[in-house]
Chain A
Amino acid sequence: MKESYNWILKQLPYSEPFLFVEEILNITNKGAEGYYTFSPDTDFYKGHFKNNPVTPGVILTECCAQIGLVCLGIYLLGQKTELENVRIGMSSSQMEFLQPVFPGERVKVVSELVYFRFQKLKCEVKMYNEDDKLVCKGVLAGMIGVANA
């Protein structure tokens, strides 16, 4: 079952230290679901905050975007798409943060498609912690499409 999403993970245009997708649980035409675990060794915890490591909101937003928007976008573009030709960029984000995420926590991102038209993908995203509490939620949009090569 999970094997079938490997092609999406391979198509992701990210690598360490800026890959925030660990596992895709489920993707349909209407949304995506996936996990990510924030490693305590990650560099930004040294500075956010001093002696009090908390995952920055921008990183939570990025994680929501990579799982909820980009994985879904790659799925919607289809398996035949060549990664080199995919053009990608976030165009808007509106997020609310409700719970802190500490080093080592695993989060689940769930996205719901609002629309994918004219290469613009817009989704409602929600992130949950291991206690199933809502960590953050919002609306993200980006341009994702295949360049006319």
Chain B
Amino acid sequence: MLKEEKYQKLKEIIKIYLPEDVAVTDIKQDSHLMNNLNINSANLVDIVLDVEDAFDIRLENEDMDQMQTVNDAMVIIDAKLSEK
């Protein structure tokens, strides 16, 4: 899967959980999921679960802790995909 393709897939997932005052166009590679995109901890779990389904990977607690920005998520997805 191409990097751009993965990024789009991730963006599609994040989009679902954005609060109403945050626009899709606000999603940038360096956006902090909680601080910039205002995603709460409950929705962050939903994002992780959707990412698991979409990429057919499984994330652990450490991955969750490390997943601060959109780019962090990309790095974790890449790492998990390469482990497969």
Chain A interface (Cβ within 8 Å of chain B)? 91-92, 115, 117-120, 141-143
Query: Are A118 and B48 in contact, CB atoms less than 8 angstroms apart?
Result: yes
**Could you say which of A118, A119, A142 has the most chain B C-beta atoms within 10 Å of its C-beta?**
A118
Cα A120 to Cα B41 with chains together (Å): 9
Within 8 A of A (CB), among B20-79: 40-46, 48-49, 61, 64
Query: Are B42 and A141 in contact, CB atoms less than 8 angstroms apart?
Result: yes
- The B contact surface, by secondary structure, is helix
Is the interface on chain B under 10, 10 to 19, 20 to 34, or 35 or more residues?
10 to 19
**In chain A, what residue has the closest Cβ to B43?**
A91
Nearest 10 pairs of A and B residues by beta carbon: A91-B42, A120-B45, A118-B45, A118-B64, A143-B42, A120-B42, A143-B41, A118-B48, A117-B45, A141-B42
CB neighbours (8 Å) of A117 from chain B are: 45, 48-49
Query: Are A118 and B40 in contact, CB atoms less than 8 angstroms apart?
Result: no
CB neighbours (8 Å) of B49 from chain A are: 115, 117
**Minimal beta-carbon separation of B64 from chain A (angstroms):** 5
**Could you say which of B44, B45, B64 has the most chain A C-beta atoms within 10 Å of its C-beta?**
B45
Q: List 23 A-B contacts (CB under 8 A).
A: A91-B40, A91-B42, A91-B43, A92-B42, A115-B49, A117-B45, A117-B48, A117-B49, A118-B44, A118-B45, A118-B48, A118-B61, A118-B64, A119-B41, A119-B45, A120-B41, A120-B42, A120-B45, A120-B46, A141-B42, A142-B42, A143-B41, A143-B42
